[in-house]
Amino acid sequence: MDTKKKILDVALTLFSEKGYGNVYVGQIAEGVGIKAPSLYKHYKSKQDIFDAILEEMRNRYNQQTSLLNITGSDFQSDSQFYNNISEDELVKIGIGLFSFFLHDEYECKFRKMLTIEQFSNKELAKLFSNQYFNEPQKYQTGLLQMLIMQGLMKNEDANIMALQFFAPIYLLMTVCDREPQREPEALNMLEKHIRQFNRMYKE
């Protein structure tokens, strides 16, 4: 693997576990398998490594949202899709999504680092809010609006429905980030949540 890339990888791992201030360049170097001074052939400072990680995050985020704007935010076809699936399949999708966010290596480290650094970096705070509040909220609101218009769901405030659907998923995810051994418990609650949400709001 490309050393320059591997440095970012190791650094993100360490930053996501301890936070920027508790990680020393020597530790990053050790993880990469080189000595600390060699890092400086690739990046001009520790801060530079952090900034490169940020840049990568920005790129992934933009890629992801522009992709969403092509396919995901096509609520009409998405809601058409939901129309034809059973509650069981809805649960399967919810759990799949939850598991991806929880286990995808990059997603997980990215989220933990944002969590740790959110109060000392305004840009990270915004990135966090976008990824874990604004975007899910926007997408699911649109989707639910379609389902309501099609008469499949009760005519309630779609924005609040989205909040009530997504917030429990998010909360359970934060619990698992902290205490991974609670994942079975979380999955159990997640499934019940989706079924109950569906039962309460379906027309």
Residue 95 contacts which entry, DNA, a copy of itself, none (Cβ below 5-8 A, type-dependent): none
User: Judged by CB under 7 A, which of 5, 17, 18, 40 binds DNA?
Assistant: 40
Cβ proximity to a copy of itself, 58 vs 182, nearer residue: 182
Provide, rounded to whole angstroms, the least separation between the CB of residue 175 and a copy of itself.
Answer: 5
Residue 200 contacts which entry, a copy of itself, DNA, none (Cβ below 5-8 A, type-dependent): a copy of itself
**How far apart are alpha carbons 63 and 46 in whole angstroms?**
26
Provide, rounded to whole angstroms, the least separation between the CB of residue 113 and DNA.
Answer: 16
**How many angstroms separate the Cα of 135 from the Cα of each of 65, 79, 94, 119, 162?**
8, 17, 16, 20, 11
| Cα–Cα nearest to 28, from 38, 36, 19, 20 | 36
**How far apart are alpha carbons 145 and 31 in whole angstroms?**
48
- State residue 179 phi and psi, 5-degree precision: -130, 85
User: Judged by CB under 8 A, which of 193, 198, 202, 203 binds a copy of itself?
Assistant: 193
Q: Is 42 in the site for DNA (CB under 7 A)?
A: yes
**DSSP-derived secondary structure for 114-174:** HHHHTTT-HHHHHHHHIIIIIHHHHHHHHHHHHHHHTTSB-SS-HHHHHHHHHHHHHHHHH
Which residues here bind DNA, judged by CB under 7 A? 3-4, 23-26, 29, 33-38, 40-42, 44-47
Residues in touch with a copy of itself (CB under 8 A): 16-22, 112, 115-116, 118-120, 125-126, 128-129, 133, 156-157, 159-161, 163-164, 166-168, 170-172, 175, 177-179, 182, 189, 192-193, 196-197, 199-201
